[in-house]
Structure 1
């Protein structure tokens, strides 16, 4: 008999960011790519889960050279809302340091009916030194 894989652990907060972690220890689901973020969001919808907060970075892969952005996640969230099946999210927190992309994310997600706020990543998040080192080959400077 083939063992069944465990279901994704769905917590109340979802962080989609390639390098950052919350400064304070909070129970959070983390996705490092747009694909894994979509997977967690879809799993949440399938399970009838409500996300209290979804934190979004725009540029996913800056340091790794991987071409990935939050675009597919934002597009999917907006598509779900447009079809009358919005994803259950209390608030979307846009924390990207990419100012033009952040403004666009806020505008598009707000227009789709989501409650959206803009936050400074440095107020809540730190770069994970292990992820940074894996991406660049050296430790981040303090």
Structure 2
């Protein structure tokens, strides 16, 4: 068995290997190593000492970190752009509309419960009555 040197990473490998065990470069692009001693094709050193890995440095962790930061930034931007709560703009028309009611609850999902003459209904952010005040607060 003869050893060859990988032209990609410089690591040693068997001449019977189909690709470099260190970097995966295909065998057809590899050259052969000449034995140190011309009298013998077999080296005196054990194979484990002859093969010295020279792995190709990758920046896999860096790219994963960058991708994670981008995903978090995109999610945060989408939340701020699309997931924000609707705001209530207090206009003179809304103020006038709210004076018609005896009680007004907090706005939730763009509507607020209102009570007039003991009956409950709902208004939207513009002060328009979406569900008329027709429901009693008495329970059977």
TM-score per shorter chain, which class?
under 0.3
Greater relative contact order: 1 or 2 (C-alpha under 8 angstroms, separation 6 or more)?
A: 1
Question: Highest CA radius of gyration, 1 or 2?
Answer: 2
TM-score normalized by the length of structure 1: 0.16
Q: Tell me which protein shows more helix as a share of its residues.
A: 1
TM-score normalized by the length of structure 2: 0.16
